[in-house]
Each structure stands twice: as C-alpha cells, then as structure tokens.
Amino acid sequence: MASQAKPDLTRAAPAHGARHVAIIMDGNGRWAKKRLLPRIAGHRAGVEAVRRVARAAQEMGLECLTLYAFSSENWKRPASEVADLMGLLRRFIQADLDEFHANGVRLRVIGHYQALEPSLVELIESAMARTAGNSGPVIAIALNYGAQDEMVRAAQRIAQKVARGELAVQDIGVADIDSELDTSDLPPLDLMIRTSGEQRLSNFMLWQAAYAELYFTDMLWPDFDGRALAAALDAFRLRDRRFGGL
Ligand code: IPE
Ligand code: IPE
Ligand code: MG
C-alpha cells in the first residue's frame, strides 16, 4: 500500500522568533484631527491599517496577532463614537471573514464580547465557529476587553471550582489562572506594540505581558503598515530576553 503523504505542518521558524504579537492600536482620533476630519474618519482609516497589518502578520509567519479594538473603558466615550466603532467592527467582520477563512485564519475575539448588542454577539460567534477548524494563524480581536475584568472573570471561575470541591485553595497555581483567561489557547505573548506615542498598557493583557517585550512608536495607528510591523519585529529580534535568568 502506498504510504499516504502526511501534510507538513512544520512551518519554518521565522527569523524574528516571535509567535504572538499584540497591538494597542492607538491614535485614530489624532490622525483625523491633524487632517481636520471627524474622529470616525480616523477609525475608518484604522480599519484599513488592520487589514494591512493582518495580511502582513500572516506573511511574516506569526502564529497569533491580537488587536486591541475596544476596551472595557471605551464605553466612557460619547455614545455616537461607540456606535460608530461598533458599526465599523460589524462591517469589518462581514466584509473580511471570507478572506480570512480562505487564508486559513482562525478569527478569535477576547474580552467580554457577550455584553455587546445581541446581533453583534451572534455575528462574532458565527465568525469564530466558521473559522475554528482552520489551521492557519489566529487573528484575535480584543473587544470590550479589560485585563482586570478578564482576571476577575477568571477568579470567579476558579472560585466556583473551589466551591464545587474540584480544586483546593492551596493548589491554585499559575497554570490554573492561565487556563481561565480569554487567551488560554493562544501562544505566549512575545511582543506588545503601542502606537501613537503613549507609553502605557491601558488595561491590555496585563497578565500575559509579564515577560513580553514592549515596543512603543510615535506612529499613529492609521499610518501603521507591514513595514512598521517588520521594524518592530526587527527590534524584537535584537532584545535579550532573560526571563529572570542570566
Ligand atoms: C484608538 O484610537 C481606537 C480606539 C481606542 C477605539 P483613539 O480613538 O484612542 O485615538 P486617539 O487616542 O484619540 O488619538
Ligand atoms: C487603548 O486606547 C484602547 C484601545 C486601543 C482599544 P485608549 O485611547 O482608550 O487609551 P487611553 O485612554 O489613552 O489610556
Ligand atoms: Mg487613544
């Protein structure tokens, strides 16, 4: 019997060595303001940057790209801006899902997205279900995401396990927390990028960033592209990651 060719799942390790990159996509409003445009124009241009960077991440061999699209604190913005952002998000998923699926991308959403409008929740869940069996990279969108909220939700689930007698308090370890976070099935975070010159994490992936490399650029998000991602990965390659060792 002829031996059946096995698919080759080993992807050549990319030279930059990063598996998982996360981006705080900041500066859409300032990009629009500089052009005397309404803030929504900046968000629209930001969606174009998402498309460019998602494609570049696939070409560069990343296993996972996580994008901070809407924080649990962004509800403080005017209702009209929140509605604009949700509308853009909905249209982005509707317009780009076929391409992601054709490229073998798995679309994931992290954050408490279940609190969004029911039709959007439905759209997100059907997009995730449709691409769940793909073997390509993960594009994870952080929506209604706050790291503190993520950790509170994880703590509640762990407390429930303790209450049910499935876990002893003294046995709770790092792996128990890891496995209850929204990112439990994603590779460890290697690089966190923030655009627009702000140097803070704004409640993004606080647990996962424990040993991630941080990269800040003054570039505003709508100007970000594959070259800018490559520059960040070049900088990452030169970092000496010691993880507390020597
Ligand atoms: C990032 O751009 C997009 C979101 C937070 C949704 P901003 O809207 O925060 O832009 P700036 O910071 O006001 O320039
Ligand atoms: C962080 O940007 C959230 C996202 C990029 C989605 P913000 O613009 O909300 O952060 P702050 O308010 O400047 O810290
Ligand atoms: Mg901002």
- pLDDT above 90 covers a percentage of the chain that reads 93
Is residue 101 helix, strand or coil? helix
- Of 53, 85, 202, 221, best ligand 2 pocket probe by most atoms within 8 Å of the beta carbon: 202
Classify 20-146+191-237 by CATH class.
Answer: alpha beta
* Closest ligand 2 atom, residue 200 Cα: 14
For residue 6, pLDDT over 50 is answered with: no
Q: What is the pLDDT of residues 199-217, one digit of tens each?
A: 999 999 999 999 999 999 9
For ligand 1, say whether the CB of 47 is within 6 Å of any of its atoms.
Answer: no
Catalytic residue flag (residue 103): no
Q: Which ligand is nearest to the CA of 45?
A: 1
Q: What would the 3-class secondary structure string for 138-178 be? A: EEEEEEEECHHHHHHHHHHHHHHHHHCCCCCHHHCCHHHHH
Q: For residue 41, how far is its CA from the centre of ligand 2 (angstroms)?
A: 17
Distance 55 CA to ligand 3 centre (A): 24
Which tokens hold the place of 240?
């000496």
Q: Return all residues near 37 (Cβ < 8 A) that are at least 6 apart.
A: none
- How far, CA to CA in Å, does 216 sit from each of 24, 49, 228? 10, 17, 11
Question: 135 pLDDT exceeds 70?
Answer: yes
How high is the pLDDT of residue 14?
85
Q: Are residues 45 and 28 in contact, defined by beta-carbon separation less than 8 angstroms?
A: yes
Residue 142 class from Cβ within 10 Å (0-12 exposed, 13-18 middle, 19+ buried)?
buried
Counting ligands in written order, the one closest to the CA of 73 is: 2
* 213-216/64-71 β-pairing: unpaired
26 touches ligand 1 (CB under 6 Å):
yes
Is the pLDDT assigned to residue 8 strictly greater than 80?
no
The mean per-residue pLDDT over the stretch 3-8 comes to 46
- pLDDT over 60 at 4, yes or no: no
CA of 50 to the centre of ligand 1 (A): 14
Is 26 among the catalytic positions? yes
Q: What share of the chain has pLDDT > 70, as a percent?
A: 95
Which residue's CA is the nearest one to ligand 2's atom 9? 74
**What are the sequence ranges of the domains in the chain?**
20-146+191-237
User: Would the CB of 27 count as within 6 Å of ligand 1?
Assistant: yes
Q: Which ligand is nearest to the CA of 68?
A: 2
Asked whether residue 43 carries a pLDDT value surpassing 50, the answer given is: yes
Q: Looking at residues 131-145, what average pLDDT do you find?
A: 98
- Give 82-120 pLDDT, tens digit per residue: 999 999 999 999 999 999 999 999 999 999 999 999 999
Distance 134 CA to ligand 1 centre (A): 31
Mean pLDDT value of segment 45-54: 98
CA-69 nearest atom, ligand 1:
6
Contact 82, 74 (CB under 8 A): yes
Question: What is the mean predicted confidence (pLDDT) over 49-61?
Answer: 98
Distance 128 CA to ligand 2 centre (A): 25
- Which residue's alpha carbon is at the smallest distance from atom 11 of ligand 2? 202
